[in-house]
Amino acid sequence: MQASSPAARPPLALRVGFVLAQNFTLSALSLFVDPLRLAADEGDRSRPIRCSWAIMASSAEPVRASCGLSVGRTAPLGDPRGFDYVVVVGGLLHGGEQVDATTERWLRSAAAAGVPLIGVCTGSFVLARAGLMRNRRACVSWYHHADYEAAFADTTPISDQLFLVDRDRITCSGGAGVADLAAWLIEKHLGRAVAQKALHVLLLQHARAASDAQPHAFAPDRIGDERVKRALRLMEQNIAEPLTIAAIADALALSTRQLERLFQARLRLRPAVVYRQLRLRHARWLIENTAKPVTIVAVETGFCDAAHFSRQFKGYFNLSPSLVRAARPQESAPAAAP
């Protein structure tokens, strides 16, 4: 079918440029691009009529995703003013340099030109390393909250929601939340009906709000209470130095008794029990996936000594930490800790 002539097309309402970090997360890119593609045209014909997108890089070499697939650029790093937004798609934190110095300089020039910058997945780390998140809040995954907090003292990480708009910086925790962010941008520029259409074609029922809590093993949709989800976020963010339950309740403007009742109603467990289980699950991940001594794992998950940790661990998993470590496949290289 012959494409419409350029003269017949309406002006582009949304122009998005993508910068991919080395070992970027493929799903974060696809969950952003596909809603744009579906919003750009009628049906799923994918013509860039209402919006456009480009993948830019300083080199013509393809960029490798964390899953092993490679994606080539569709444009060099040009004038950033040709875009309404520039999106940095991050990925593995421990896979070497994420972007080169040329790309960092280009991102700084985009910011100086007033182009809003978006960091998805660990793209917020790329922006922060480029000095572009000073005195800003950044939405990061609960999984990387401690990494961000340790690396950047001049920014505030937020890990209890899907994405965050802080003036001309937008950050997203990643995962399925990227589709919600894309839908938010599409609705802002093209209207709610267009955003809903894009999500429905992808078999996504509706867009979640930026402030919706990040999903968690203890917080499936059936929980239905944002206060419990936010309490879980605080627990996840304070594994090595656990907060008191009273401090968590105070942060949520609740009494300790109110928080206890909420947890009993939603999880059928006391907050202290849930907190301990979170720490023990993280400890097991460290034992199975890193070479850290059990004594160090105990400290990093907030237990006062190795003996106390071992008793709690065995009581929960019915296995000792040493047996879990011994069962790890020897041929597997230890992974970097989250």
pLDDT tens for residues 179-223?
999 999 999 999 999 999 999 999 988 888 887 766 655 544 456
Give the CATH number of the domain where residue 319 resides: 1.10.10.60
Q: Between β-strands 70-71 and 63-64, what pairing exists: parallel, antiparallel or unpaired?
A: antiparallel
Does residue 139 fall inside a structural domain?
yes
Does residue 209 fall inside a structural domain?
no
Q: What is the pLDDT of residue 100?
A: 95
Per residue in 258-313, pLDDT tens? 999 999 888 888 999 999 999 998 899 889 888 899 999 999 999 988 999 999 99
pLDDT reading at 111 higher than 60: yes
Give the CATH number of the domain where residue 33 resides: 3.40.50.880
Q: Could you tell me the pLDDT band of residue 329, with boundaries at 50, 70 and 90?
A: low
Residue with tokens 């920014």: 155
Total domains, the chain: 2
Q: What is the pLDDT of residue 222?
A: 54
Cα dihedral 108, 114, 118, 122 in deg (nearest 10): 20
Does residue 288 fall inside a structural domain?
yes
Residue range of the domain that includes 104: 6-201
Rounded mean pLDDT of 220-233? Answer: 76
Of 91, 97, 92, 61, give the one whose Cα is nearest residue 76. Answer: 61
Do 69 and 152 fall into the same domain?
yes
Q: What is the pLDDT of residue 157?
A: 85
Of 214, 203, 212, give the one whose Cα is nearest residue 35. Answer: 203
d(CA 163, CA 185): 12
Q: What are phi and psi of 125, to 5 degrees?
A: -65, -40
Do 184 and 229 fall into the same domain?
no
Give me the helices (H) in the chain, please. 26-39, 101-112, 123-129, 145-151, 177-190, 192-201, 226-237, 245-251, 256-267, 271-289, 294-300, 306-317, 321-326
The model's pTM:
0.67
Q: Could you tell me the pLDDT band of residue 38, with boundaries at 50, 70 and 90?
A: very high
Domain boundary among 142, 167, 201: 201
Does residue 227 fall inside a structural domain?
yes
Do 159 and 270 fall into the same domain?
no
SS3 267: helix
Least reliable range by pLDDT among 34-38, 67-71, 215-219, 276-280: 215-219
Q: What is the pLDDT of residue 215?
A: 63
Do 195 and 250 fall into the same domain?
no
Does residue 311 fall inside a structural domain?
yes
Does residue 213 fall inside a structural domain?
no
Strand partners, 54: 17
Any residues with CB less than 8 A from the CB of 99 and at least 6 apart, and which?
19, 21, 22, 88, 107, 126
Q: What is the pLDDT of residue 268?
A: 80
Do 174 and 227 fall into the same domain?
no
pLDDT averaged over the chain? 88
d(CA 180, CA 111): 24
Rounded mean pLDDT of 113-130? Answer: 96
Q: Could you tell me the pLDDT band of residue 3, with boundaries at 50, 70 and 90?
A: very low
Domain boundary among 136, 166, 201: 201
Q: Could you tell me the pLDDT band of residue 12, with boundaries at 50, 70 and 90?
A: confident
> Across the chain, how many H-helices and E-strands are there?
13, 11
